[in-house]
Amino acid sequence: MNRPLRHIAIFCGLLMLALLIRTNWLQFAKSEELATHEHNRRVKITQFATPRGDIIVNGEAITGSKEVSGTDFKFQRTFKDGAMYAPVTGYASQAQGMSLLEKTYDSVLSGQDERFAFSNAKDILTGEERRGGDVVTTIDPKAQKAAYKGLTDLDARGAVVALDPQTGRVLALVSTPSYDPSVFAGNSFKEGDKFQSLVDAKSKPLANRPLRETFPPGSTFKILTAAAALEHGVVTDVDAATDAVSPYKLPLSSNTISSEAGDRTCNKASFKTAMQFSCNNVFLDAASKLGDDRMRETAAKFGFNSDVYSEDFGDMLATKSLYPTELDKPGTALTGMGQGSLTSTPMQMAMVTAALANDGKLMQPYIVESLRGPDTSPLETHEPKLKSQAVSEDTARKVQEMMEFTAKEGSAKRALIDGVTVGGKTGTAQRGDDVTKEVPYGWFVSYGKKPDGQSVAVAVFIDPTAMDISREDISGGGLGGPIARDVMKAVLGK
């Protein structure tokens, strides 16, 4: 064999060897990853080869499956009250994939979970169709409906979160505007166009505002500032006058900040009066005296600067709410009134409110009560878990006293319910600047307690950008207070 032919033969041999190595590597080393990859069409065919299990709310299925023809996918997902429950269920689309609970618990819902191996093997022998398991949620349907109705009646972009302070159970999780997952559950071109229109919409209907978007919390954050001041001894008597003058001059700055209630009302006001009238000066001064380290430490105990809320079940992934690092003195003061570079999800502010209502104990929020097999036998059951002791019981009860006074005599009156102890705090969060003049966000946080001990904590967030409302009429109490009241009434049976 001449030299050129020998080189060609060696080169071809190396190519064959590389091909054999690659084939064996794919077949053995990467087989599991490729077999379960979300873009593997066989995976999707298997996911929709049989009716999926259901997502359950209060004993009733809010999802279903229908048989379809003319496609590789035998069954298609259906949703009951899809838009109302979309922030809970997510979507399960033959073409667009899955999200939220549909994605997190796909192996259970599609019947492919390894814990179903025995029953699946038995079904093969008996010729029965594979069946999926169910995901049982903590959602209270009356609270969910009250929250959704409240936001849609306002035609607002917004979010509502309701928690059981004693256990961490998520009772309501609403985002508006929303979408119906049923309209793009298949894989037709028409459904693909509908999904793309949702992606492109300026109102962002696919956004999960309660969990995945952050905003300046405004004056609702003052309940955390108050807790930090009490916990660290900066304030000991909530009825005593402070030395915080109004208007308040920011540290190292010539800028001054006033309060809507007026400088006369807020000048050197007590903490209780400052909460009642939402006096900025008192909370700016408290944060300045605390310093950013102690403010950040307290915020972290309430859940700020933490990624995931439900580590055990993995069902409550949320965007991190941030108390920033390396703040200067003016920036630290501004966080005291919930402004500056501080950001929060509505879920985070619901957690702060719930922890204070629960005497300082922050429970781990969770939205899945249990998982059950195709025969409804239990697979897993969630147990309430203490996330942290955010503040002492004494501190929490002093903040409760202030919030309840604010509901009775201050800006949170619209959340009052007969026969229920209610604490609340309004918030109007500024954004933009004097040039852009963007409309502010509206916030409202509250809790309600019945004499028998049953309780609920609620956070309402409203972005009035698309609403037909004047800037002067935007307030957390006016817009969010009635929604919070209706959600609390739904939970507490009032």
Catalytic residues: 219
Q: Which two tokens stand for residue 296?
A: 């950040």
Handedness of CA 323, 324, 325, 331 (dihedral sign): negative
Answer whether the bond into residue 464 is a cis peptide, omega within 30°: no
Q: 184: how many CB neighbours lie within 10 A of its CB?
A: 23
Instruction: Please check whether residue 102 is in contact with residue 91, taking contact to mean a CB–CB distance below 8 angstroms.
Output: yes
Instruction: Please check whether residue 261 is in contact with residue 277, taking contact to mean a CB–CB distance below 8 angstroms.
Output: yes
- Interatomic CA distance for residues 237 and 211, integer angstroms: 36
Q: 71: Cβ–Cβ under 8 A, 6 or more apart, which residues?
A: 94, 186, 187
- Interatomic CA distance for residues 228 and 291, integer angstroms: 10
Instruction: Please check whether residue 238 is in contact with residue 272, taking contact to mean a CB–CB distance below 8 angstroms.
Output: yes
Q: Which two tokens stand for residue 120?
A: 């699946």
Instruction: Please name the amino acid found at residue 319.
Output: T
Handedness of CA 237, 241, 244, 247 (dihedral sign): positive
- Interatomic CA distance for residues 30 and 36, integer angstroms: 10
Measured CA angle at 152 (ends 148, 158), to 5 deg: 75
User: Which secondary structure element, helix H or strand E, spans residue 94, and what is its range?
Assistant: none
Chain length of the chain: 494
User: Which residue do the tokens 């006033």 mark?
Assistant: 258
Q: 122: how many CB neighbours lie within 10 A of its CB?
A: 10
Specify the pairing of strand 157-163 against strand 455-463.
antiparallel
Instruction: Please name the amino acid found at residue 207.
Output: A
Specify the pairing of strand 378-381 against strand 256-257.
unpaired
Specify the pairing of strand 421-429 against strand 368-372.
unpaired
